[in-house]
Amino acid sequence: MRSLILSSILLAVLTLGGCYYDKEELLYPGACDPGDATVAGYWTSTIQPIIQTRCASPGCHVSGGSGPGDFTQYANVKARVDDGALQQVVLVQGSMPPSGSLPACDQQKIQAWINAGALN
């Protein structure tokens, strides 16, 4: 009887351990630190990797891609910031990228960068 109780407890502990959310935004709301978007290199270290992996992917915002503009170059991304298109489709509508909205933390980083003047 005692081994049955211990086995039941062990099974319950192991089963409950499998219930885990691995989405950072859900686990730690407000934990995103976008950093200082006014420092030199913020584009290169923070924003460019987001753009490269989510926007300037093969077939989209690259030379000859289906997306308007080649986002492999800073000047082209900056032009979309200046005309408001990037903010509208990425931050307001959340319709880009087509694979789903950017994670909240990436959106906060982009917004901080835009607020700081979208510096190179």
User: First vs last Cα of the chain: how many Å apart?
Assistant: 69
What mean pLDDT is predicted for residues 1-29?
62
Domain boundaries, the chain: 29-115
- List, for residues 73-82, the tens digit of each pLDDT value: 999 999 999 9
Q: What is the pLDDT of residue 94?
A: 85
Confidence check: pLDDT of 100 > 60:
yes
Q: CA 29 → CA 23, 26, 32, 60, 104, distances in Å?
A: 10, 6, 8, 31, 10
pTM of the prediction? Answer: 0.71
